């Protein structure tokens, strides 16, 4: 199945869009960006130069994913979410001249497999959002988010653990957590959560 790219989308000739992916109205995919299979890029979304998306990622309407971001398989980016890429953003140099590409060093946001970024959240690079973690809508992420963490607020802080289904986990004994939706078990050790091996 080939990719579906609507006429009003702007996809650079050097970008790669995987089979089964959809790029919707007014979206922009920049030079050398790579989208895996079965991705969805919503209306007005921006995928920066060289950004990599794994298979089955969903970038919702008007989200801005600036280079050099990297999203692993199954990442969700909510409407109007923003991934920054500049430590010290300025339009001009200290002498008042317009900044060029050589005047700054881009830094990126990394989203591990299955992570979800809520609507209007801002991820301030460089940060890594862990596997199956969830960033609540409107949050501002300024430090790395552990696997399976639910973070909220400004700045974002962990308030719960979530499983692969996205549902908050229920605490048991001896650091064990259970997903009420799937029954999957997890173990908490020194502030980190891992899946329990059967």
List the end-to-end C-alpha distance of the chain, in Å, as a whole number: 37
Looking at the fold, whether 78 and 145 belong to one and the same domain comes out as: yes
Looking at the fold, whether 64 and 83 belong to one and the same domain comes out as: yes
Q: What is the mean pLDDT of residues 166-185?
A: 95
Looking at the fold, whether 25 and 98 belong to one and the same domain comes out as: yes
Looking at the fold, whether 35 and 85 belong to one and the same domain comes out as: yes
pLDDT given at position 15: 98
Looking at the fold, whether 142 and 184 belong to one and the same domain comes out as: no
Burial 95-131 (b: 16+ CB within 10 A, else e): eeeeeeeeeeebbbbbbbbbbbbbbbbbbbbebbbbb
Q: What is the mean pLDDT of residues 1-7?
A: 93
Looking at the fold, whether 93 and 175 belong to one and the same domain comes out as: no
Q: Which residues pair with 59 in a beta bridge?
A: 41, 77
pLDDT at 117 exceeding the cut of 80: yes
102 pLDDT tier (thresholds 50, 70, 90): confident
pLDDT given at position 37: 98
- Percentage of the chain surpassing pLDDT 90? 93
pLDDT given at position 33: 98
Q: Which domain holds residue 44?
A: 4-162
Any idea which of 28-37, 83-92, 97-106 has the lowest mean pLDDT?
97-106
How far are the Cα atoms of 48, 81, 90, 91, 103 from residue 97, in angstroms, in the given order?
24, 30, 11, 8, 10
pLDDT given at position 101: 83
Q: Are 149 and 133 in contact (CB under 8 A)?
A: yes
Looking at the fold, whether 99 and 175 belong to one and the same domain comes out as: no
Looking at the fold, whether 116 and 178 belong to one and the same domain comes out as: no
pLDDT at 198 exceeding the cut of 80: no
Q: What is the mean pLDDT of residues 168-195?
A: 95
Q: Are 130 and 112 in contact (CB under 8 A)?
A: yes
Torsion sign across C-alpha atoms 145, 164, 160, 66: positive
pLDDT at 197 exceeding the cut of 80: no
Nearest to 154 by CA among 171, 142, 167, 144: 142
**Domains in the chain, number:** 2
Looking at the fold, whether 158 and 174 belong to one and the same domain comes out as: no
- Percentage of the chain surpassing pLDDT 70? 99
Whether the full predicted model's pTM is greater than 0.85, yes or no, is: yes
């Amino acid at each position: 199945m080939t990719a579906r790219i609507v006429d009003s989308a702007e996809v650079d000739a050097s970008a790669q869009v995987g089979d089964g992916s959809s790029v919707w109205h007014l979206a922009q995919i920049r030079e050398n960006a790579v989208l895996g299979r079965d991705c969805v890029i919503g209306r007005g979304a921006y995928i920066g130069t060289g950004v990599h998306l794994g298979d089955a990622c969903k970038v919702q309407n008007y989200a801005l994913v600036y280079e050099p971001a990297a999203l692993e398989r199954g990442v969700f980016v909510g409407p109007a979410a923003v991934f920054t890429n500049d430590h010290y953003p300025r339009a001009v140099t200290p002498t008042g001249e317009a900044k060029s590409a050589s005047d700054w060093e881009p830094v990126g946001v990394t989203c591990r497999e299955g992570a979800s970024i809520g609507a209007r959240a801002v991820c301030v690079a460089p940060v890594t959002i862990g596997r199956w973690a969830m960033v609540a809508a409107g949050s501002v992420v300024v430090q790395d988010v552990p696997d399976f963490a639910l973070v909220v607020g400004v700045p974002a802080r962990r308030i719960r653990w979530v499983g692969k289904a996205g549902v908050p986990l229920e605490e048991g004994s001896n650091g064990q957590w259970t997903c009420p939706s799937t029954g999957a078990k997890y173990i908490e050790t020194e502030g980190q959560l891992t899946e329990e091996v059967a």
